[in-house]
Structure 1
């Protein structure tokens, strides 16, 4: 278990660095937690703030502050919800969506460069075990 803790700590540090790097690639003032919201909006399309809170499990107040910051940076747009005119839908701006896509492409290329010599079976086994680990801990993202 100590080895697992050690390896997970290394993984977490790497993830934090990658998210911070991707955030800076989108906008130099973008916070990593703002990047996570932006990436989620890019993947899932327009959404209400409540959906972001529920799906990313981030405090409602923090989401509100991050959305204000994202709007100030011009990275999200707000519009009426066609299903309920009183509600607001949030979307990644076209520029933000392209920058997130570019950052994702760059990261995937780095993964390919670093893991390209892994046999496909080993990579598939790693992904399966990581999925099993996440499910066991109840942290599989939506």
Structure 2
């Protein structure tokens, strides 16, 4: 194997290692944010709730498609979110037999607070990065994500 090929494999391995650290950090951060919304909210439900706040009201089938989960699992999560007062269901005006799901006004308010706190915290922790470095990292991360689609 050439020196260049070995260097490339080492670089890919380093990326995998750093992505592993990032995933662990994200799981912890998602759990913390979920608890900031409601002490009984789970991380997976937090992600669904955030998506609903941005994209709702929608049919449950849209959530199943976006998150790649089975209907039964989603149904249980939506029931739990509804019990916590974070999700509302309304009849679909286009089809009276169907239901639309949306984040409650309280959930939207809490999500906005948590998002603001997160951005302030992240900005503080990255205070030694220049705007150029932040923009370059965002571009590189975007390029990485598009390459894996």
The TM-score normalised by the length of structure 1 is 0.93
1:84, distance to aligned residue in structure 2 (A): 1.2
Aligned length: 138
Which residue pairs with 1:108 in the alignment? 119
Residue 125 of structure 1: aligned partner: 136
- CA RMSD of superposed structures (Å): 1.0
Instruction: Select which of 10, 16, 29 maps to 1:5.
Output: 16
**Residue 99 (structure 1) aligned with residue 99 (structure 2):** no
Q: Name whichever of 51-60 and 34-43 sits farther off.
A: 51-60
Which of 71, 74, 92 is the matching residue for 1:81? 92
Larger CA Rg, structure 1 vs 2: 2
Per-residue deviation, residues 5-51 of structure 1 (Å, max 9, x unmatched):
11001000110011101100010000100101100011112111011
Match of 1:32 in 2: 43
Q: Name the CA distance, whole Å, in 2 between partners of 1:132 and 1:89.
A: 34
Structure 1 residue 58 and structure 2 residue 59: aligned? no
The match for 2:80 is 69
> More relative contact order in 1 or in 2 (CA 8 Å, sep 6+)?
1
> Partners in 2 of 1:134 and 1:89 — Cα distance?
31
Of the structure 1 ranges 80-89 and 53-62, higher mean CA displacement relative to structure 2 is found in: 53-62
Gaps of 5+ in 2: 1-11
Which residue in the other structure is 1:21 paired with? 32
Q: CA deviation at 1:74?
A: 1.2
